[in-house]
Amino acid sequence: MIHKARRFSIAFTVAIVLALSIVAIAAAITIVVDGIKEPTWGGSGGQVPGAVLDPNEAAIDDRYDIKVISYTNDALGSAPWGHLYFLFESYSNFDSIYPVATPQIIVCMDVDNKTSTGTTASGYCNDMAGIDRRIYFFPSLGTVTVQRWNGAAFVVVPQPSGGMRAVAYDDPSASGIADMPYIEGGVDLQSLGIINTATCIGNMQVAVYYDNGIIDGEDQIPDSGTFNMSCGNPTAVTLNSLQAQPVNTSPLLPLALVGGAAVILIGAVFFTRRSRKHTA
């Protein structure tokens, strides 16, 4: 009886530990929008943010020349349905004082991957088609605007209750010059029309335009066309880019772990049953 109780206890403990690990793996990355690149931008719990590399362009001031854009989202949850985060890394540290005009980063998104909905850009975002949402990040002002195409024009999307509009760069000396080459941004998914698993799709087309506010080249990311951004629940927008640095997509990993855990649990139960028979 003691052996049986011990074996059952071990199997039960294994089940609990595995269940807890699965919950941990399913938890999505949440980013603190403060302009500091936290370690989770490198991936956490099987989720790896997507990334698009962009070249150092001679015609663009390095302070506003994008090197890589990373992106991820946390769980859909409930309204305002989680958040989409961006990390913009430039070739030199962001300078909010130099440009006379306000630098702005425009993220154009075809959130339903249908060129028949939305509109076509002209002179920015590589003239991509099907834009349903535009996000404007103004890092020097610390403000963010989300716009949606209403069929005739872009209109501002009010921030929903509990929603997020955030952009930041790290400047502890308040000199106007970032101490690190990062700008972080965040927007609630509800503002982007991503409100359930049906609208959280795996192939949103995206292009980014960085207008530094001065008269020289502006940065297009990618240099032409769009990149592919995927959304998943509960794990995320990871995903792939059409650039040189495709990233690991994570949704399959939790599924594989769940499958593995199930096999181990079945094995534990079978072992316990066999042990009971042998000791009966």
Residues that bind Ca ion (CB under 5 A): 32, 34, 36, 38, 54, 57, 65-66, 110, 112, 114, 117-118, 130, 132, 219-220, 223
SS3 276: helix
Task: Kindly state the smallest distance separating residue 35's Cβ from Ca ion, in Å.
Answer: 7
Task: Kindly state the smallest distance separating residue 137's Cβ from Ca ion, in Å.
Answer: 14
Task: Kindly state the smallest distance separating residue 69's Cβ from Ca ion, in Å.
Answer: 10
Q: Look up residue 234 and give its two tokens.
A: 């509960």
Task: Kindly state the smallest distance separating residue 237's Cβ from Ca ion, in Å.
Answer: 17
Query: What is each CA distance from 169 to 9, 96, 136, 214, 229, in whole angstroms?
Result: 51, 10, 15, 20, 24
Neighbour tally for 242: CB within 10 Å = 12
Cβ distance to Ca ion smaller for residue 14 or 27: 27
Cβ distance to Ca ion smaller for residue 54 or 61: 54
Q: For residue 140, what are the contacts with CB-CB under 8 A and spacing of at least 6?
A: 96, 99, 102, 103, 176
Cβ distance to Ca ion smaller for residue 145 or 170: 170
**Angle CA(259)–CA(233)–CA(160) in degrees, nearest 5?**
160
Task: Kindly state the smallest distance separating residue 143's Cβ from Ca ion, in Å.
Answer: 18
Cβ distance to Ca ion smaller for residue 38 or 248: 38
Task: Kindly state the smallest distance separating residue 247's Cβ from Ca ion, in Å.
Answer: 18
- Sign of the C-alpha dihedral, residues 177, 179, 180, 184? negative
- Contact by Cβ (8 Å): 212, 95: no
- Contact by Cβ (8 Å): 162, 79: yes
Task: Kindly state the smallest distance separating residue 73's Cβ from Ca ion, in Å.
Answer: 15
Strands (E), 77-149: 83-90, 104-110, 133-138, 143-149
Q: Look up residue 62 and give its two tokens.
A: 């390095």
Cβ distance to Ca ion smaller for residue 117 or 159: 117
User: Which one-letter amino acid corresponds to residue 205?
Assistant: Q
SS3 231: coil
Cβ distance to Ca ion smaller for residue 11 or 107: 107
User: Which helix (H) or strand (E) element contains residue 13?
Assistant: helix 2-26
Cβ distance to Ca ion smaller for residue 52 or 75: 52
